[in-house]
C-alpha cells in the first residue's frame, strides 16, 4: 500500500499500522531533486512487497511538525517503522539496489515465516526446514531445541543448539540440555521454566548454583539463568533481583 500521509493520520496510518506490517516513511518535498530520483525506487520496492510493507509519503513543507518530531535534517529522509517505532533509516537518494536491500531487511524471510507458523505453533518439520533455509536462524534452533528437550532428546538438542552459543537464549537451552544429559537433578527448575513460572525456576537454579562444586556445572547453571533473564527482559524486577544475586555468588 502506498499513500500520502499528513499529520492528522500519521499516528494511525504509520505508528499503529506498523504493529501489523512494517511502514516505510518517505519524507520529501516537491522542490527536492534527489527526492524525485528516489521516489520511483521506493514505489517499485513497495509494490513488489504489496501486503508485506507499506509506503507512506510525507510532504515536509505541509507537515513541518512531523519533520521536526522525527528530526528530519535533510531530504529525502526514509525511516522504517515496526511495532510503533523507527527501526532503520537512511538519508539521500541511494541506488535502487540499496533500496531493495532496505525493504528486504523489513520483510520476514522464508525461515521467519516457517518459525512463525502462520499464527499457530510451528511443527518440527517446519523448524527443521527453517534451519535448512537459514542455518543461522537462532529462533528456529531455540524452538526446535525446546521441542527436542520436551520429548527427552537432550543429546540432539545439544547438537541443534551448538552453533548458537553466541545467543543467550540458545546457549541457555544448550546448557540445560547438557545438564539433562549428565543426569543433574534440575528437572523441577526446568519444569517450572516450561510452565511459565520463572520465579520458582530461578530460585531452584540459585540453590543449585550455590551448592555446585564443579566449575563446568556452575557455568551451565549460570547460562540457564541468563537465558531466563533474557526472556524476562532487562527491566524485569525478577531478572534484576536474580542477576544481582548471581553476581554476588560469582564474586
Residues forming the active site:
32, 35
Alpha-carbon Rg for the chain, nearest whole angstrom, is 23
Note whether 24 and 54 are within 8 A (CB).
yes
Cα 27 vs. chain centroid, distance in angstroms? 27
Give the residue ranges of DSSP H helices in the chain.
7-10, 33-48, 64-69, 96-104, 110-116, 124-133, 138-150, 154-161, 168-181, 187-194, 198-211, 215-232, 237-250
Q: CB–CB of 114/130 below 8 Å?
A: yes
Amino acid at each position: 500500500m502506498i499513500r500520502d500521509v499528513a499529520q492528522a493520520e500519521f499516528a494511525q496510518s504509520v505508528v499503529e499500522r506498523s504493529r501489523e506490517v512494517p511502514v516505510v516513511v518517505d519524507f520529501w518535498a516537491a522542490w527536492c531533486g534527489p527526492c524525485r530520483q528516489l521516489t520511483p525506487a521506493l514505489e517499485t520496492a513497495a509494490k513488489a512487497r504489496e501486503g508485506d510493507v507499506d509506503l507512506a509519503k510525507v510532504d515536509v513543507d505541509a507537515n513541518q511538525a512531523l519533520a521536526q518530531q522525527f528530526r528530519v535534517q535533510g531530504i529525502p529522509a526514509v525511516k522504517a517503522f515496526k511495532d510503533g517505532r523507527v527501526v532503520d533509516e537512511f538519508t539521500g537518494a541511494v541506488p535502487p539496489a540499496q533500496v531493495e536491500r532496505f525493504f528486504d531487511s523489513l520483510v520476514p524471510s522464508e525461515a521467519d515465516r516457517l518459525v512463525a507458523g502462520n499464527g499457530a505453533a510451528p511443527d518440527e518439520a517446519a523448524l527443521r526446514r527453517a534451519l535448512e533455509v537459514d542455518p543461522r536462524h537462532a529462533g528456529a534452533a531455540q524452538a526446535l531445541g525446546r521441542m527436542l528437550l520436551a520429548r527427552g532428546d537432550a543429546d540432539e538438542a545439544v547438537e541443534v543448539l551448538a552453533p548458537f552459543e553466541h545467543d543467550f537464549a540458545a546457549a541457555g537451552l544448550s546448557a540445560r540440555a547438557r545438564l539433562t544429559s549428565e543426569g543433574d537433578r534440575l528437572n523441577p527448575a526446568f519444569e517450572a521454566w516450561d510452565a511459565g513460572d520463572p520465579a520458582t525456576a530461578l530460585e531452584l537454579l540459585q540453590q543449585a548454583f550455590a551448592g555446585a562444586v564443579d566449575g563446568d556445572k556452575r557455568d551451565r547453571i549460570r547460562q540457564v539463568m541468563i537465558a531466563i533473564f533474557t526472556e524476562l527482559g532487562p527491566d524485569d524486577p525478577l531478572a534484576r533481583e536474580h542477576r544481582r544475586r548471581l553476581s554476588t555468588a560469582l564474586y
